Structure 1
Amino acid sequence: MKNEIVSVIQDKAMWRRAKKYALFSLVLITLSCVVTFIIHPDLNKLVDGLGSTIQRGNKEQENEFISYLKNNGFKVPRGMFLMGLIPVPWIYLLNLIFSSIVLGIALSMPLIDSHLSFVKILLTVFTYAPFEIFAYCIFAALIKPMNNAIIKNLLNLVKKGERVPFFIKLKRVFIGYLVLVLPLIIISGFIEAYVADFLYKLF
């Protein structure tokens, strides 16, 4: 088991994919920020749509941390994993795409309305978001070989080719989630619930 964990952590191909997805996310954040600024949407509707992503409530920090972990540490990865089981390339990137677009929209809001503090938006969202986004990039990079194995095995049923070892890919997804993805989400949740709140109140 120890060798398998080390193998996942030292998988250079996986890290290259994760970095490519991170670059893709950065491009989406930039584009959504620029497009939102050009469109100049109704900020009241925009704030209602983004909800707690850009507005900090008065919730108990502990409950906020637990809620964050439930959603971003379990529900979102579960959704990505289930989409990765569908024999369609890249569909598991949908959540990463959505999260990146939301961040870009949040970043554009102070540009649209000068009454909004750019610093507070940064402290509210961008103190923890890089950890969250990169965790999703890593998870997507882990899911890709599994998704490819499903697609290739389905094609090989027709072509009668050699089967790709699916369960090995599946095991690496779970190992990578436990040792790489979940710790990053925990760090992100801690920053979102405690550090970002503290910095926000300073400004």
Structure 2
Amino acid sequence: MLLYLENKKTFKRASKFFLFLTSLSIVITLITYILSLNLDFIKIIESVSTSEQITQLNGIQKVEAFILNNGFKVPLQMLILAIVPVQFLYLLNIIIPSAIIGIAFGIVLQIDLVKGIQLIVSSMPYYFVEVFAFCLFAAVLFELNQFIRIKIKNIFLKNKVTISFKKRGQEAIKLYVLFILPMMIIAAFLETYVADILLNLLQ
């Protein structure tokens, strides 16, 4: 609770990112459903959004693969992009998957409206946890990126802007260890086990 209060601004920014990405997925889902895109697009989605190795895994191996990918690989890619002094560039790693999810949802609704709704509902638990975890990490990277841009601007300014990143860096590590990584682990279990249980219950 104390860590949350100390980083309230970061959580608020993460909520804004989450609202934006969820709205993006919903809008693209509706557009895809209304326009009735060609079903061959599913092959493109699968090749972009999910590694073939992960889809072939089962049980705890699949959980481990999701944790490795979403908990370490994707955050590392976002961190590298955040070092580039371009604002919001690191959001590409979560904007593109959110758009692909929207297209996928729109297509499954075209194939079978009822089953499509069931699939979407069963996906919601892990979707919310996973996407918010990414949004929280993006909110952390916002401050890193801001720090880098200010340092670069200071090179050309007479009146330097003083900013200390040491404290924020420590808080960022705490947020990742105590919130972001555990949420990714929970999302991996939800996606591997709970999604299928919910889908079976709804059918």
TM-score by length of 2: 0.85
- Equivalent of 2:14, from 7, 13, 18? 18
RMSD between aligned residues: 2.4
- Equivalent of 1:139, from 137, 140, 151? 137
Contact 1:28 1:100 in 2 (8 A): yes
- The verdict on how the C-alpha distance between 1:171 and 1:104 changes in structure 2, with shifts beyond 3 A counting, is same
Contact 2:36 2:107 in 1 (8 A): no
Contact 2:37 2:107 in 1 (8 A): no
Unaligned runs of 5+ in 2: none
Residue 86 of structure 2 aligns to a residue whose secondary structure is coil
Over residues 10-68 of structure 1, what are the superposed CA-to-partner deviations in whole Å (9 max), with x where a residue is unaligned? 3111111011111111221122112212332221x222123276xx9663211110111
Contact 1:99 1:133 in 2 (8 A): no
Which residues of 2 match residues 150-169 of structure 1 at below 5 A?
150-160=148-158, 161-169=160-168
Residue 106 of structure 2 aligns to a residue whose secondary structure is helix
- The verdict on how the C-alpha distance between 1:138 and 1:117 changes in structure 2, with shifts beyond 3 A counting, is same
Quote the sequence identity (%).
30
Counterpart CA distance in 2 for 1:58 and 1:78 is 24
- How many matched pairs? 196
Partner of 1:127: 125
Q: CA deviation at 1:119?
A: 4.0
Over residues 66-116 of structure 1, what are the superposed CA-to-partner deviations in whole Å (9 max), with x where a residue is unaligned? 111111111111111111111110111111211221221222123322377
Contact 2:84 2:145 in 1 (8 A): yes
Partner of 2:105: 107
Contact 1:132 1:185 in 2 (8 A): yes
Q: Point out the more displaced range, 160-169 or 135-144.
A: 160-169
Counterpart CA distance in 1 for 2:55 and 2:199 is 12
Counterpart CA distance in 1 for 2:173 and 2:166 is 11
Unaligned runs of 5+ in 1: none
Residue 69 of structure 2 aligns to a residue whose secondary structure is helix
Counterpart CA distance in 1 for 2:3 and 2:61 is 35
